[in-house]
Amino acid sequence: MKIKQYFVLRLFFLLLLILLPYFGLLFFNIISVEKEKAAFFSLSLIFVAFLGAIIVFPEIGKKEEGFIVRFLIMTTFQLLFMMAVLLYETYSFTNDIKQAVLHQLTLFVLYVVFQSVLLARTQRKQ
């Protein structure tokens, strides 16, 4: 399997690894969030993943210098996008804003940490 296909497949499984337990906790009422908010959280995380994949994909498996620059650009855009999402949540969600922001930040931080590990391992396999 080519390294770029491997990266995309692992990125998809990473999203599943984060979102499926979250929706499992919601389904069994261990945590309670409105369904619209949970859908918004998952869609924003999917968009963050898609944005990151678009930015870093051309440098997967290539020289390390270009990859590092793309990685920094990707992380910057993902953080800026998530700050905009959190700002939107602060002004549009009226009920349980602290809980909504905490859920969104938890999902995002988990994703960024696992994505960084995935990118480092994928680049090392080069």
End-to-end CA, the chain: 12
CB contact at 8 A, 14 and 112: no
pLDDT of residue 110: 95
Name the region of 97 (left: φ>0; alpha: ψ -120 to 50; beta: rest): alpha
| pLDDT by residue, tens only, the chain of 126 residues | 688 888 889 999 999 999 999 999 999 999 888 888 899 999 999 999 999 999 999 888 787 788 889 999 999 999 999 999 999 988 887 777 888 899 999 999 999 999 999 998 888 876
CB contact at 8 A, 101 and 86: yes
Q: Would you kindly state where each structural domain of the chain is located, as residue ranges?
A: 3-124
